[in-house]
Amino acid sequence: PDRATLARAALAVAGVGEPAPTTAERLAGLDERRQEISGKAEARAVAKQHAKGKLTARERIDLLFDEGTFIELDAFVRHRVTDFGMDRDRPYGDGVIIGHGLVNGRRVCAFSQDFTVLGGSMGEAFGAKMNKIQDFATTIGCPVIGLNDSGGARIQEGVVSLGQYAELGRRIARASGVIPQISLVLGPCAGGAAYTPQGTDIIVMAEETSFMFVTGPEVIAAVTGERTTLAELGGPAVNSEVSGNVHHVAADDKEAIAWVCDLLSYLPTNNMSGLPSYAYEAQPEITDRDRELDTIIPDSATQAYDMRRIIDRVIDEGSFLEIQRGFATNLICGFGFVNGRPVGVVANQPLMLSGAIDIDASSKGARFVRFCDAFDIPILTVVDVPGYLPGVQQERDGIIRHGAKLGFAYADATTPMVTVVVNKAYGGGYGVMGSKHLGADINLAWPTAEIAVVGAQAGVHVLHRREIAEAEPADRRRVIGELTESYRTKFSNPYFAAERGYLDAVIQPRETRLQVAAALDALRHKKVEFPARKHCNMPL
Ligand code: HXC
């Protein structure tokens, strides 16, 4: 056959010449589909979600991203399930929006689950979308934000749903420490929708509308007979104050999203990108605000003070973003800026348990230190710790294992570390709170620092038990007083440690802001390499 015949045959195979929609009709077809996604479906979602005090999945995306920058992927994906009559309704998007855009000018990927479509549950198509955006974020190296509002594994799709959750869990684990992963839990998140955020770095909930549990109240009632409510079981209060599952509770969806946008400004885009930095005009001389540090430590050891007053005066003014504020309140963790560059702050809080480290504080601090270290965010540690919390219950609950986490995390960290001992640093507390021995780079102390194995009273009674027992009863008080005074002279100060170089300098409190800034500046290009290994085996 000649060329013209072949060309006619090819067109015939492609059906050319048969009746077909016009180009204009095809373009209109796309508009129609788009209208179904963002028009009809969105109107339905608005009605349902607003009635519950929640925003829709699309409204949340709009709030998260800089206007007009969000690019949606997979909007036309639909499930292909025929069981349970599901083929009667195959909504576009399958209940989750995925895509990427800019947040304060920086690239971010996100997924936003739509509870109004099959309860935001994860089926095959839904899971494929989640995994696609997770992979995309890892490939391009940008943070991924999960807006979760889901009943968990889609019951109609059985093991396929479970498999998708496990696939997602694997991707989250592999991206951990490579890109920041932040989860918002903005509805009743059950099963996998509660587990998978736990693999991410930071989890945020909204008051009133967010819940998180492995099994809901009805299943619990059926299986164990326990009667409980959504709020009691997995509301923001229990998750932020009792279990410590979440890092921040916001008033509503809008504030939760705003908080996450704020948090992103402290974080690098990925573990190789370097930290963000902002213009900040730090005062180059000691200011009146610096001088306020000179009077914060009370004269009496029995008086407490709020550690936040110190933090606020050392980092850039107004820059402290605290996480897990309601959990393990004896240890403060949060992000700040020093001269416009991010820093992670870990500090004991004397207002709670005198700042002693218990199981929860150790777990909280260790995870925070790991997060900072993974992304090379320098760590500023402010120490006022009487030691680990003594007690039968703590021992039974495993303070040895859990308490080891904090020291292990510091010891395994290679990010710049600056530590300031402002008051007590006793026992194991001294060791684990960013001591020189664990690898901190610059260790400073105030003249008010007391560094010893135990406090004067306890020390004297252990070391001089016989001498005290043998003293005449009338004389005992004087003997104890003298021994305590001599113990104090030796240990209740920073100089015993400074003499050995365990502290690089003893400074006046008012000098702290400038000293910390200078230390962090000097450490900017710190590089430490450990011997090759698969990974460490930290106590979990
Ligand atoms: C399919 C679901 C669903 C699910 C909710 N829906 N969860 N559909 N699979 N998992 C549907 C409901 O049938 C309902 O559909 C709509 O979503 C809204 O749900 P409601 O129950 O009306 O909402 P609410 O009263 O607010 O209660 C929310 C809820 C409850 C507490 C989340 O829906 C619930 O308990 N769902 C089941 C949770 C669950 O057991 N999930 C599986 C977990 S196991 P209609 O058509 O009526 O509007 C898991 C394994 C992970 O996730 C494995 C990891 C490896």
Coil, helix or strand for 500? coil
Pocket test for ligand 1, best of 155, 185, 196 (most atoms within 8 A of CB): 155
Full DSSP string of 102-147: EETTEEEEEEEE-TTTGGG-B-HHHHHHHHHHHHHHHHHT--EEEE
Amino acid identity for residue 2 in this structure: D
Q: How far apart are CA 71 and CA 59, in angstroms?
A: 14
Ligand 1-lining residues (CB < 6 angstroms): 118-119, 121, 151-156, 162, 165-166, 188, 190-192, 195, 216
Instruction: Return the number of other C-beta atoms located less than 10 Å from residue 172's C-beta.
Output: 23
Q: How far apart are CA 119 and CA 235, in angstroms?
A: 18
Tokens, residue 511: 């000098």
Report yes or no: 143 and 266 within 8 Å, Cβ to Cβ. Answer: no
In the chain (540 residues long), the average pLDDT of successive 10-residue segments reads 86 81 94 88 93 96 98 96 92 96 98 97 98 98 98 95 97 98 96 95 96 91 93 95 97 98 98 96 95 96 94 98 98 98 98 97 98 98 96 94 97 98 96 98 97 89 91 90 90 93 98 98 95 95
From atom 6 of ligand 1, which residue's Cα is the shortest distance away?
119
Angle between the N-to-C axes of helices 124-140 and 158-175, in degrees from 0 to 180, rounded to the nearest 10: 10
**Inter-residue long-range contacts of 75-82, CB under 8 Å, 24+ positions, other chains counted:** 75/34, 75/37, 76/33, 77/125, 77/128, 77/129, 78/125, 79/123, 79/124, 79/125, 79/126, 79/157, 80/124, 80/125, 81/123, 81/124, 81/156, 81/157
Residue at token pair 């949606």? 72
What was the pLDDT predicted at 213? 93
Report yes or no: 540 and 366 within 8 Å, Cβ to Cβ. Answer: no
Beta strands in 236-316 (DSSP E): 248-250
Q: 137 C-alpha to center of ligand 1: Å?
A: 28
Distances (CA, A) of 69 to 31, 59, 72, 79, 148: 20, 14, 10, 27, 21
Pocket test for ligand 1, best of 121, 165, 219 (most atoms within 8 A of CB): 121
Q: 92 C-alpha to center of ligand 1: Å?
A: 19
What was the pLDDT predicted at 8? 85
Q: Identify the CA nearest to 61 among candidates 280, 329, 253, 301.
A: 253
What was the pLDDT predicted at 394? 94
